[in-house]
Structure 1
Amino acid sequence: MTPTELKDPEYGLNGLNTGKVSSITSMKQDVTYAEDIAAEARMKLAEMDPAIRAQIRRKIDLNVMPLAIAGYLVAFIDRSNAGNAKLLGLVDDLHLTGYRFNIALSAFFCTYVTLEIPANLLCKKFGPKRWLPILVSWFGLTTMCFAFAETYAAFVGLRIMLGVAEAGIMPGTAYMLSTFYRRHELAGRIGIYASFASLSGAFGGLLATGFSKIPPWGIIHTWRNIFFFEGLITMAVGVCMYFFIPAGPSVARFLTPAERELAARVIELEVLSSGPSRSIRLKDVAAAFNFPNTVMVLASAACLLTMNSLSLFVPSIINAMGYSAIRSQLLSVPPYAFATVVCIVFSIYSDRIKRRGVPMLLLLPIGMVGFILHLTVKSPGVRYFAVFLSMVPAFTGSPTLLAWSMDNSAGPTVRAVAGAIQAGFGNLGGLLATWTFLSKDARNGYKSGNAINLGGMVIAALSIAVVVLYYKWENAAREKGHRDHLLEGLTREEVENLGNKHPGFRYTL
């Protein structure tokens, strides 16, 4: 192996560069043993035929990614379809006067935020194969029930239940993918499935328009058709996920026996384990709440503030420009499609250069320009163009930050909790999003909502800059050997459980 390969986290054990540690001669025998098996794992990973590994990865992409995409796509459609239903009679039929509509939207995030971490711990314990289909089927059934809601109280109650069911979807799907892909293969895949959050807006607008045209049958009509049929589709997706999601690479039917063994071995070597441990230790949960992950929550909250604001209110924002309800639904499709393409391209590029935070600092100013145009320009054409700009970092930021956090968190439990922290506490921004675009501000072009979202973009940029500088400083300290003392006096098991605290671990910037 070349010196470059030894320093490249892709060749390290879950990012472990043991070249520096091997120069330490005063460690105990237990520490030397841990270094030896780490070096052996790194060598085995480097010796694997890249062509065979690429072939396995393509098979996983074709068989696992479509299920991950479908589950997340229907989740986001079901979460956001209230914005479409609002323009088609929901508000009048359920008497959602004043702030009632915003209160109902907030109810979703109350349970969604608080249950993210418990949901992902349960996903780790029971396995994504069983857990994710249960959640998808559950929120599909809940979505169908919206079609029969007759009162404001029923609408709020169903939004609460929808939050319970959807809490584990994004972090759970990310955790599932981490059992199939290496760390620098992960961000692109998370970005691809999460990009369908933006595409869901395009699908949602088209589906809402189509379903609302179905003639009344019984009590089901217009906006009720949206909830009924979208819920039915979601339940079908949940059933398919149960039958087709493999429990792991070692039992994936689409791989040959030799490929299954190799695919499982790759993941085992990266995390230095012999299988997916289901035990949950409190110290691993606490380790996920480290300084960079905590600061990153601010950036996640800011990006999710914008993402949810636009997901819930883009039809209303366009409607306030002077377009009809139906035309507003249709005009919301192109910005979502554009955001999807940007998110996919950016995520793949992020994987290629093995950087997360630094590219985001180049993307966030585009969103800032979009919100500034909303605040300063009155032309409908320019403001519609500004919607495109606003969506770029909004829908790309959240999956990138989720992948970044999981990149820099070693150990199954730490990684599961780290992902849940970003998706969970980050969605406090989603809770705020339900109050950004109020009906009373429509006349002035929703200036308050656009100003709040502009502030969110600034907070995201500052938070990411702090985390990038911290990781850069910490990597430099480890290169100089300033963290080597952490290995002293530890047993084999303790060294193996250091995870990203190991002096040889290098953080992704």
Structure 2
Amino acid sequence: MRDIERASSSEDEKHYDSKQGGVAPLYSNGTPASDPSLIYDAAREKKLVRKIDLYIVPTVAVLYLMCFVDRANIGNARIAGFERDVGMNPRSYDFNILLTAFYAAYAAFEIPSTTLTKIIGPGRWIPIMAFLFGLLSLANAFVTNFASAVAVRFLLGVAEAGMLPSIAYYLSRWYKKDELVFRLGLYLVTAPSAGAFGGLLASGILKLPEMGMVRSWEKIFLIEGLITIIVAIIGYFTLTDSISSARWLSEDEKKFLQARLKSELVGQKDLIDRTHKKLLWRGITSTTSLACAFMFLLDNIAVQGTAVFLPTTVRGIFPAPRYTVIDQQLLTVPPNIAGAIATLAFAYASAKFKIRSVFTIAGSLVMTLGYAMFVGSNNLYVRYAASFFATSGAFTQGALLPAYAAVNANNDSERAGAIAVTVFFGNIGGLISCWTYLNRYAPNFLPGNGLNLAGGITMALSGVLLVTWQRWENKQRDAGKRDHRLEGLTEDEIYLLGSDHPHFRLRY
């Protein structure tokens, strides 16, 4: 048994200790090392982390599952007759305009919505968002023309905008940096799972008898929207904002868990600070955040394109009348399952080996292989196999890149900004994806697949450049070439340095 701050201390604190000749200031609020609740116990720590896993991760995972289902079910509805029934011209750009309405709102409202998560509290705002997008998904069942479909789709984008970054930020309040990426994987695995689950659910719903005026694709929106609303209500009463407000933790457990997280801070006063614009901006504009954001943009062109257009691609590979609509829905399931398995495997390995860069680059190369197969072969079975590589490579980045940005932030506000900008650029990628798979290029979709091939290569190169810069910057800090940043600063001013603090080490 030993004091938790020494057991939990990161490389940042060890570096500080060696330079100052004393114990690192892990708790700037003066938490006494003699407090019995802070005595380190590995078994106790493992038990408490598993308790958090049980109380937090399943709820946010189901909420995000329904978020992605409600976003991507437009692809399932499309091959069930949605375009025809609302008067859309399948040879025009109507479907792409419909998708653009969603992603334009999604991108525009993502950072404001994530900021509201910090202000209102994630335990309340996340379920409220889920309730709203469930309601709007349900409303899709009652659209009768193209204009109303665009309007509902735009509002759905507003409601869903902050979901991914808000959950990532929420989890960062509970887990240490090296634990975070796997927990992000546990909820982001629901994105490819949503493709599989959505395909299975849609095929099952289409077998149900008509419910009054609600038929075919309308049933998909109605039933999936109702499920989301129910899950959101449950989440509202079960989620809690942070460790300090968790009703299912004792006071000693709260102190122990808070001490774990405080041990990773450098020059910071509070575990959860008040929203600070300067620190939010520092998180948004840091080199690591912007590099992750750029890679996430390229990745989401592939991810969102796959989510919405995979049913259309499968329909081209396995056409009617040989394959029914239900057969086509079911054939979208296996590639999404492959993406889900890869997401968990990469996230687990990243957490196990405490490294993100290697797996980010590896995922980019797997994605590149998939789209190279799409572009290089006209064989239908090769192209269907390519979808497995594409989903396996692209979906892994959903956990890796937000975590990469988050672990390189030094406080709560900066972390919110880092995650927000990463996901914001990802949403821009989703917006671009709306125009990469145009009907006139079916069934080969060469421009979209070619763009994603180039994107995978660029992501891999960007990952190499980022880790090269991070290693160089850490060497500069090791050599004391950033110590001048502390000269003449008060404690409050040092706090505002965030990840620019010379004793903070970038993680890759």
After superposition, the Cα gap between the structure-2 partners of 1:394 and 1:287, relative to the gap in structure 1 and judged at 3 Å, is: closer
Could you tell me how far apart the structure 2 residues matched to 1:220 and 1:307 are? 31
Counterpart of 1:315 in structure 2 is 311
Q: What per-residue deviation string (whole Å, max 9, x for no partner) do you get for residues 439-494 of structure 1?
A: 22224x22222111111112211222221111111111111121112111111222
Deviates more, 1:495-504 or 1:194-203: 495-504
Counterpart of 1:78 in structure 2 is 70
Could you tell me how far apart the structure 1 residues matched to 2:438 and 2:283 are? 39
Matched, 1:96 2:95: no
Matched, 1:252 2:251: no
Say which SS state the counterpart of residue 219 (structure 1) adopts: coil
Determine if contact 1:250/1:263 at 8 Å carries over to the other structure.
no
Q: Which residue type is aligned with residue 127 of structure 1? A: G
Q: Which residue type is aligned with residue 506 of structure 1? A: R
Q: CA deviation at 1:503?
A: 1.2
Could you tell me how far apart the structure 1 residues matched to 2:24 and 2:344 are? 38
Matched, 1:231 2:225: yes
Counterpart of 1:28 in structure 2 is none
Q: What per-residue deviation string (whole Å, max 9, x for no partner) do you get for residues 160-198 of structure 1?
A: 101100111011001111111111111110111111100
> Which segments of 5 or more consecutive residues in structure 1 lack a partner in the other structure?
26-31
Once the two structures are superposed, the pairs formed by residues 442-453 of structure 1 within 5 Å of their partners are: 442-443=442-443, 445-453=444-452
Counterpart of 2:150 in structure 1 is 156
Determine if contact 1:202/1:333 at 8 Å carries over to the other structure.
yes
* Matched length: 496
Could you tell me how far apart the structure 2 residues matched to 1:152 and 1:425 are? 28
Q: CA deviation at 1:283?
A: 4.8
Determine if contact 1:140/1:235 at 8 Å carries over to the other structure.
yes
Q: What per-residue deviation string (whole Å, max 9, x for no partner) do you get for residues 111-143 of structure 1?
A: 111211111111001100111111000000000
Q: Which residue type is aligned with residue 296 of structure 1? A: C
Per the normalisation by structure 1, the TM-score is 0.92
Per the normalisation by structure 2, the TM-score is 0.92
Once the two structures are superposed, the pairs formed by residues 174-193 of structure 1 within 5 Å of their partners are: 174-193=168-187
Counterpart of 1:505 in structure 2 is 504
Counterpart of 2:466 in structure 1 is 467
Q: CA deviation at 1:215?
A: 1.8
Counterpart of 1:373 in structure 2 is 373
Counterpart of 1:122 in structure 2 is 116
Q: CA deviation at 1:280?
A: 2.7
Deviates more, 1:139-148 or 1:174-183: 174-183
Counterpart of 1:106 in structure 2 is 100
Counterpart of 1:434 in structure 2 is 434
Matched, 1:343 2:335: no
After superposition, the Cα gap between the structure-2 partners of 1:148 and 1:247, relative to the gap in structure 1 and judged at 3 Å, is: same
| Match for residue 42 of structure 2 among 11, 34, 50 | 50
After superposition, the Cα gap between the structure-2 partners of 1:481 and 1:83, relative to the gap in structure 1 and judged at 3 Å, is: same
Say which SS state the counterpart of residue 81 (structure 2) adopts: helix
Q: RMSD across aligned C-alpha pairs, in angstroms?
A: 2.5
Q: Which residue type is aligned with residue 16 of structure 1? A: D
Q: CA deviation at 1:41?
A: 8.0
Counterpart of 1:406 in structure 2 is 406
Matched, 1:68 2:51: no
Determine if contact 2:284/2:414 at 8 Å carries over to the other structure.
yes
Counterpart of 1:305 in structure 2 is 301
Determine if contact 1:34/1:492 at 8 Å carries over to the other structure.
no
Q: Which residue type is aligned with residue 469 of structure 2? A: Y
Say which SS state the counterpart of residue 64 (structure 1) adopts: helix
After superposition, the Cα gap between the structure-2 partners of 1:493 and 1:18, relative to the gap in structure 1 and judged at 3 Å, is: farther
Q: What per-residue deviation string (whole Å, max 9, x for no partner) do you get for residues 147-170 of structure 1?
A: 000010111111110110011101
Q: Which residue type is aligned with residue 360 of structure 2? A: M
Could you tell me how far apart the structure 2 residues matched to 1:492 and 1:478 are? 20
Q: CA deviation at 1:21?
A: 6.5
Say which SS state the counterpart of residue 267 (structure 1) adopts: helix
Determine if contact 2:303/2:395 at 8 Å carries over to the other structure.
yes
Could you tell me how far apart the structure 2 residues matched to 1:36 and 1:294 are? 28
After superposition, the Cα gap between the structure-2 partners of 1:33 and 1:43, relative to the gap in structure 1 and judged at 3 Å, is: closer
Counterpart of 1:210 in structure 2 is 204
Say which SS state the counterpart of residue 396 (structure 2) adopts: helix
Q: Which residue type is aligned with residue 44 of structure 2? A: I
Q: CA deviation at 1:270?
A: 3.5
Q: CA deviation at 1:218?
A: 2.5
Q: What per-residue deviation string (whole Å, max 9, x for no partner) do you get for residues 211-261 of structure 1?
A: 122222222101000000100000011101111112222232333342233
Q: What per-residue deviation string (whole Å, max 9, x for no partner) do you get for residues 396-417 of structure 1?
A: 1122100000010111111111
Could you tell me how far apart the structure 2 residues matched to 1:23 and 1:369 are? 47
Counterpart of 1:353 in structure 2 is 353
Say which SS state the counterpart of residue 16 (structure 1) adopts: helix
Q: CA deviation at 1:264?
A: 2.9
